[in-house]
Chain A
Amino acid sequence: MSSPSADEATLDRAMRELTDAWQISGAGWRDAAREEFDRDHLVDILWRGRQGMKALGELSALCSEAMRRCG
């Protein structure tokens, strides 16, 4: 079992890799469909990813604080 902070790092890495892959794909794909995909799909995916990461981070902080204060 991994800790929430490790999970948060996994999600952060996944988002960076996805963003990098998107930028790389731009070298050979430049048209309206790409812009539409960016606007209609990728923006939402990355926004949700950031929100998920934030929630995981808060959960991690809460668990760590509980252990630190009570241990």
Chain B
Amino acid sequence: MAGSADVKDPAIIRDFRGRLARFQQQVAAAMDGAPSALDKSIDQLRNEIGPRWKRELGKRQEAYTEAKRKYQEAEEEVKAKGRRGAVDRTSAADEQREMNRAMRRCEEAEERIKLVRSWLFRLEGDGKDLLARCRDHDLALQELTRKGMTQLDRLADRIDDYLQRGANP
């Protein structure tokens, strides 16, 4: 190889070898962050967002219970007095609307809780599969760059030998 080499200076090869070593470090740094990023997302869903929606559901259920009580009271009032003209109201429609709204807010919170569960499931499944793929690529890249650096060392050493032989025939 050295006989047909066209390299102005083996330092060019060594410089690129240094660049490859830096690439190896950058890959390791990038891949190292992936598990903690996934863990953070899982942790946020499990320990922050999920419990927050459960607390929110509790509050909304209380609001619904209260709205329902008001609606029933209003209904009673309309039935008992409204027909006799003793009260201004002719129906409990406003209270019923409020109750229905409170019920929809409960349903929305329940949906969110289901959604958090399903996304937790996805992160534990698909997320961990993707993480395994990242690890595979990381390991392969570490091995490939290691082999590449070894080859560059070999090439640079051969050129050094060739140049030395030329200088000291």
By a beta-carbon cutoff of 8 Å, the part of chain A in contact with chain B is: 1-4, 6-8, 10-11, 13-15, 17-18, 21-22, 25, 28-33, 37, 40-42, 44-45, 48-49, 51-52, 55-56, 58-60, 62-63, 66-67, 69-71
Contact = CB atoms under 8 A, between A and B. Distances in A.
Give the interface residue-count category, chain B: 35 or more
A18 B24 CA distance: 10
B154 to A, nearest CB: 9
Given A11-B30, A59-B38, A45 B49 contact: no
B6 interface: yes
Nearest to B130: A59
Contacts of A28: 7-9, 12
Given A1-B40, A7-B31, A66-B45, A37 B119 contact: no
Given A7-B34, A25-B16, A69 B115 contact: yes
B81 interface: no
Mostly, the B contact residues are helix
Interface of B: 1, 4-9, 12-13, 15-16, 19-20, 22-23, 26-27, 29-31, 33-34, 36-38, 40-41, 44-45, 49, 112, 115-116, 119, 122-123, 126-127, 130-131, 133-134, 137-138, 140-141, 144-145, 147-148, 151-152, 155
B108 to A, nearest CB: 13
B37 A59 contact: yes
Contact of A14 (B9, B26, B138): B26
Nearest to B113: A70
A51 to B, nearest CB: 5
Given A18-B23, A59-B34, 5 more contacts: A1-B40, A28-B9, A30-B6, A41-B151, A48-B141
Contacts of A2: 33, 37
